[in-house]
Amino acid sequence: MDDELISISSGELTARIHPLGAELMSLTDSAGAEYMTDADPAYWSGHAPVLFPIIGSLVDDTYRLGEDSYHLPRHGFARRCRFDVLAVEDDFAVFGLGDSEATRSIYPFAFRLALAFRVTGTRLHMAATVTNAGDRDMPFSFGYHPAFAWPLPGGAAKSAHRIVFAADEPAPIRRVSTANGQLLPEKQASPVVGRDLALSPDLFVEDAVIWDEMVSRSLSYGADGGAWLDITYPDTPCLGLWQVPGAHYLCIEPWAGHADPLGFDGDFTRKPGIHMLEPGQSHSFRMDVCLRAR
């Protein structure tokens, strides 16, 4: 495994994070079982990219801010930036990214983004804190994009895996265009039955399954007779699920924001899903992943 990885452990759970993108690369239990993606390049080689300052795609990968236009690739730039390692302890690590000449050329704001990881028992705590380090209001979105093993360790069949939400989720889902990644206006009936979502690769033939009216702020992912992950995301109102059909992972993605609606041509500050941060202010987004005993 890459010798740049920062490893933190509670003894019961070990997380390994790469400074490039502050990306969670591995999550293993005390027996060495891996709960993250196998990153098979035949499908997708990512692990858990950080989505900032946008989520998904912009129309023509471009946004307008006042009289100026800027080019920003899908999911933003943070996932491709090297973070500074700000602190490392046995069970704790913090990574930081600030604006630079390169980022300001495509996102003209002074910012700080800190990613903190801590393991306690069988739980991984993650917190992303965005700070406006400039002198004007700063528009942004933030999202997590971790890819967990599907099937999870424990021996349960892939087809037996499901998601159980904390509350009923009757609201319709959204999809993105497979041609350009923009959020389609049509809504589809929810595939959730009460709180339960049966998982199948067929769900993802039309790309991600997206909730922009999420009730729950936690869910459980797994299969009876095998492992379960309990996942909480108290600060993110949207959720995406995604895989390349047939791959050995499931991305469970809490988002504060989403892709451009199809054909959106408004100012970036008015983009649906954008959050505004006043100068000197910070906002944190948390996500916890807990291994439930089998």
Structure tokens, 124 = 């991984």
* Residue 11 reports pLDDT greater than 90: yes
Mean pLDDT of 246-270: 96
Is the pLDDT assigned to residue 1 strictly greater than 90?
no
- List the one residue out of 171, 240, 158 whose CA is nearest residue 204: 240
Closest CA to 82 of 37, 21, 2: 21
- DSSP E strand boundaries for 66-108: 68-71, 84-89, 92-98
Query: Above 60 in pLDDT, residue 289?
Result: yes
Q: What is the pLDDT of residue 94?
A: 98
Average pLDDT, the chain: 96
90 confidence band (pLDDT: 50, 70, 90): very high
pLDDT given at position 2: 78
- pLDDT band per the 50, 70, 90 thresholds, residue 85: very high
The H or E element that residue 13 is part of is: strand 13-18
Residue 230 falls in which region: left (phi positive, over 0), alpha (psi -120 to 50) or beta: beta
Considering only 25-29, 210-214, 280-284, which range has the smallest mean pLDDT?
Answer: 210-214
pLDDT of residue 3: 80
Q: Which of 250, 234, 246, 233 is nearest to 163 (CA)?
A: 250
| pLDDT of 269 higher than 90 | yes
Ramachandran region, residue 43 (left: φ > 0; alpha: ψ -120 to 50; beta: rest) = alpha
Strands 238-242, 142-144: pairing is unpaired
Instruction: Evaluate whether 56 touches 49 at the Cβ level (below 8 Å).
Output: no
Least confident range from 2-6, 145-149, 275-279: namely 2-6
Report phi then psi at 68, rounded to 5.
-105, 155
Domain annotation for the chain: domains and CATH numbers = 6-292 (2.70.98.10)
Reported confidence tier of residue 135, pLDDT bands at 50, 70, 90: very high
Share of the chain above pLDDT 70, in %: 99
pTM: 0.96
* Of 95, 44, 52, residue with least CA distance to 75: 52
Instruction: Report pLDDT digits (tens) over 146-156.
Output: 999 999 999 99
How far lies 156's CA from each of 129, 153, 160, 221, 281, in Å? Answer: 36, 8, 7, 12, 46
| Structure confidence at residue 161 (pLDDT) | 97
